[in-house]
Structure 1
Amino acid sequence: MANSSTGCLQCLPPRDSQSSRPYETTVGFIDTNHPNYVCRLKKALYGLKQSPREWFATLSGHLQTLGFQLSISDPSLFLYHKNGIRMFFLVYVDDILLTGNSPAALKKLLDNLNSTFTMRDLGTISQFLGIQATSTSYGLHLNQSRFAQSILARAGMSNCKPVSTPSQLKTPTSNGLTAAYSNPAFYRQLAGCLQYLTLTRPDIAYTVNKICQNMQNPTIQHFDNLKRLLWYIQGTLHIRLPLFRGELVLRSYTDSDWAGDTQDWKSMSGYCNFLGSSLISWSVKKQNAVARSSTEAEYRALASAAAEVTWIRRLLQELHCTQTTATSLFCDNTSAIALANNHIFHARTKHIEVDCHYIRHCIKDKSIQIHHIPTAEQLADLLTKTLPSPRFKLLTNKLVQPMDPPP
């Protein structure tokens, strides 16, 4: 559904000349009959800074009069739960997703909204914010193939040859490649588009993160890395993110690449979270501080994943999918697991920030339980480093699925 709004301006006579705060005059609309009058805003218009806030306040206020409650975990989500009827209302500016367990209640709500706002019912979801959604017998498939094609067209690479991986294991070294790239604005534009593409493409999240770290002063080598990523996207346009029906049990995988950045020697953290068989969130982020050991790097990654798991558990509780058992968090570093479970190692961890010890609190209140997993089975390995082609393809196939190209 999409809304439209109108605005209204009321002309007022000029303020008294003796006022201590006279109106400032600006070049703009002038009423021919009253050239000295000013305009008072009566309704929010598109283009004004306060427009989104005013629109959201109006919509949220109306929904609350209908019995909806604003989610504590997600400020754009509204929840309705009365007399066995559940409805979920997700809004992003004027794009709205609405679902529930009662078709009659949904129709009644739509009729009420149409009587107050100008909206269109677009039916079953097929696209939302540039993400295509395809219904299947077991759930949904999400993909951004059209958006990926638009990025390639913008870069002039619609007919480029594909490659098997988004980045090279070994970066070539040459004096010519260290020179500044001639069009940094173009580099930043493509990097920004690629960031949005990672919403359904965890396989490129690590490479996009590395590309975005050089947006300020990109070199020719950095642009070559970006081009290789585009070559990879050309060969994987129809990759999809599957969402499955089934038992909604949350589990998480976390990994770290110790001192993976040879410029500042900071480590890379990565995690991915599954709800049942569906991948629902993932993250690639450089750590804020230099880790003194691989154990510390993994421990920091555990703390980041624990914070995300806590938020997801809270959101699931609001959606009436409460996790009755501790969430399994899989890590391939036994020392980091021991550090998280043992509160005695104070001398070895006194230099680590207090917020990193959040994982210990989660273990103590039994919301998270850490398990060891062999490195070969660590899915988050894809999010922390450049991998050889066979390993990369193996982990990619476990996170996303290829989709038959359209006829």
Structure 2
Amino acid sequence: MKQPKGFEDNDHPHYVCKLKKSIYGLKQSPRQWFQTLSTHLQSIGFVAGKADTSLFIRRKDDVQLYMVIYVDDILLTGNSPEMITNTLDKLKSKFDMKHLGFANSFLGIQITRTKNSFFLSQTKYAQQILNTAGMTKCKHLANPSQTKQPDVLSSTALESDPKLYRHLVGALQYLTLTRPDISFAVNSLCQQMHHPMPPNFNSLHRLLRYISGTLTYGLPISQGSTILQSFFDADWAGDKDTRRSTSGYCTFLGNTLISWSVKKQHTVARSSIEAEYRALAAALTDIIWLRRLLLDFNISITSPTTLHCDSTSAIALANNPVFHSRTKHIEIDHHFIRDHIDMKTVNIFPISTKDQVADIFTKHLSMPRYQFL
């Protein structure tokens, strides 16, 4: 420690405060820790990934090791058990670490392993949320949301506690890591955290009843094709208060869902075409990053990625380089879509609205439609 500039003591320039206990939460602590860890990893042959700096890769001859870091939690995998053991020994010589064997839990996510697949779930975490809400023995529902609020709202134990509402909704955001089926419902609840009203409490209560009946749901990761394809959609002017649209997209690697998003658009769209076009731009941004990330895993994708759209007008706008009077106001950065179509990064294909998977990320759905998707 040293005296801060401008506040030096001329009589005692080397005096500093004596700490009676450690200081936690310094702004630069995470940065310094990551720099220390990454410097050591690079010294033993690892290289930071180009798409994701928390991914470290080591390649030597036919051996490939991959390490993912989240603060001080580390996942290490590779095709050489000997090199994995050797790497762990080198890390233990520098840091106080524990080797927990095959991964069966990481950051609260349970990992179930079979011969050719993994299954990611957060059953224990979801159970904790229900315990906090006092709803462990509630009746189950098959749909987390409803297309229309009932005229008479049922009273719930949550209504009198806005602080509990914020706590539960914040916890539910983490649950969406392995539960894309509740992403839109959680996104809707998050928009009312500053001042939750009775309909919002009612929606939260309904969502928790749905989670109670689907505790075993999770994300399957299966072995198979490495072909990327994405679905995107937008709900035009879906927010009744601001009239902003909601964008949603999901991306599959083979049959495995690897990325999805629900987000309200920043500005009001003047037409459904514009709303779809903005959703397309968001999906394309994610596709570009995923293609770069796959390169870090030695998976080269030479063919264009397929984007599925249920709006023929939005497809025409993306492929047409001419500015029309009705599209002049759209921000320039959204027109990078056309560049990537020309560069064969993506191809946009029409799809029936019935088969549009991303529909589940943009609006409240009826029971048959929700269960189908």
Shorter-chain TM-score above 0.5: yes
Query: What is the distance in 1 between the residues matched to 2:11 and 2:172?
Result: 53
> Residues 294 and 85 (structure 1 numbering): CA distance in 2 closer, same or farther, change over 3 Å?
same
Query: Which of 371, 380, 396 is the aligned partner of 2:349?
Result: 371
Q: 1:298·1:336 contact (CA, 8 Å) conserved in 2? A: yes
**For residue 66 of structure 1, what is the aligned residue in structure 2?**
44
Which secondary structure does the structure 1 equivalent of 2:274 belong to?
A: helix
Q: Identify the residue that residue 355 of structure 1 maps to in structure 2.
A: 333
| Aligned residues of 1:86 and 1:102 also touching (Cα < 8 A) | yes
Task: Decide whether the 8 Å contact of 1:45 with 1:51 is kept in 2.
Answer: no
What residue ranges of structure 2 are gaps of 5+ in the alignment? none
SS of 2:67 mapped into structure 1: strand
Distance of 1:173 and 1:241 partners within structure 2: 36
Deviation at 1:213, TM superposition (A): 0.2
Q: Name 1:191's counterpart in structure 2.
A: 169
Task: Please state if 1:383 is matched with 2:361.
Answer: yes
CA–CA distance in 1 between the matches of 2:227 and 2:326? 35
Distance across 2 between alignment mates of 1:362 and 1:206: 28
Q: Does the CA-based 8 Å contact 1:382-1:392 persist in structure 2? A: yes
How many Å separate the matches in 2 of 1:384 and 1:373?
16
The alignment's TM-score, normalised by the length of structure 2, stands at: 0.93
1:71 is displaced (CA, Å) by 1.4
Q: Is the counterpart of residue 264 in structure 1 residue 242 in structure 2?
A: yes
Cα distance between partner residues in 2 of 1:285 and 1:16:
49
Greater radius of gyration (CA): 1
Q: Deviations over 1:271-291 (max 9, x none)?
A: 000001100010000111111
Q: Supply the distance in 1 between the matched residues of 2:228 and 2:117 (Cα, whole angstroms).
A: 17
Q: CA deviation at 1:315?
A: 0.6
Secondary structure at 1:248's aligned position in 2?
coil
Once the two structures are superposed, the pairs formed by residues 338-349 of structure 1 within 5 Å of their partners are 338-349=316-327
C-alpha change, 1:365 and 1:232, in structure 2 (3 Å) is same
| Aligned equivalents of 2:30, 2:268: Cα separation in 1 | 40
Cα 1:81–1:224 shift into 2, 3 Å: same
Identity, % of aligned positions: 51
CA distance in 1 between counterparts of 2:160 and 2:17 reads 43
SS of residue in 2 equivalent to 1:167? coil
Asked if the contact 2:153–2:199 (Cα under 8 Å) also holds between the matched residues in 1, the reply is no
Q: Is 2:228 the counterpart of 1:250?
A: yes
How far 1:104 sits from its partner (Å)?
Answer: 1.4
Question: Partner letter of residue 93 of structure 1?
Answer: V
Verify: 1:231 aligned to 2:231, yes or no: no
From the superposition, tell whether residues 388 and 61 of structure 1 become closer, same or farther in structure 2 (CA, over 3 Å). Answer: same
Offset of residue 137 of structure 1: 2.5
Shift of 1:298: 0.6
1:290 is aligned to 268
SS in 2 for 1:348: coil
Name 1:3's counterpart in structure 2.
Answer: none
| 1:18 and 2:13 correspond | no
Spell out the pairing of 1:5-404 with structure 2 (5 A cutoff). 18-19=10-11, 29=20, 47-173=25-151, 182-395=160-373
Over the aligned positions, Cα root-mean-square deviation in angstroms equals 2.4
What is the CA–CA distance in structure 2 between the aligned matches of 1:130 and 1:313, rounded to whole Å?
28
Deviation sequence 1:199-242 (CA, Å, 0-9, x none): 00011000000000000111122111111100000010001210
Report the alpha carbon displacement of residue 29 of structure 1 after superposing the two structures with TM.
Answer: 2.3
Q: C-alpha deviations, 1:7-52, integer Å up to 9, x for none?
A: xx99xxxx996349796869x629xxxxxxxxxxxxx975444332
Is the Cα–Cα contact under 8 Å of residues 194 and 208 in structure 1 kept in the other structure?
yes
> Any idea what SS the aligned residue of 1:329 has?
strand
Structure 1: which 5+ runs fail to align?
A: 1-8, 31-43, 396-407
Q: How far does residue 82 in structure 1 lie from its aligned partner after superposition? A: 2.1
